[in-house]
């Protein structure tokens, strides 16, 4: 498991814990968050 993946899983699980109340907005925000993390990981891979 790469460092970026660990970070991703931590943020993802925290997000799920925090956002269970409003499922629809949570999933939308989570998608955005996941996209951001993917972009960061891609940038880190290029280096």
Residue 8: the pLDDT is 82
Residue 15: the pLDDT is 77
Residue 4: the pLDDT is 73
pLDDT tens-place string over residues 1-46: 577 778 888 888 877 777 665 666 767 877 888 888 888 888 888 7
Greatest CA separation for the chain: 39
Spatial separation of the C-alpha atoms in residues 27 and 15, rounded to whole Å: 10
Place of tokens 């997000």: 15
Spatial separation of the C-alpha atoms in residues 28 and 2, rounded to whole Å: 25
- Token pair belonging to 26: 């949570």
- Token pair belonging to 46: 């290029």
The full set of domain ranges for the chain reads 3-46
**What is the chain's length?**
47
């Amino acid at each position: 498991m790469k460092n970026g993946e660990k970070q991703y899983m931590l943020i993802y699980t925290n997000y799920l814990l925090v956002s269970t109340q409003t499922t629809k907005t949570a999933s939308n925000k989570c998608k955005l968050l996941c996209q951001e993390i993917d972009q960061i990981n891609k940038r880190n891979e290029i280096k």
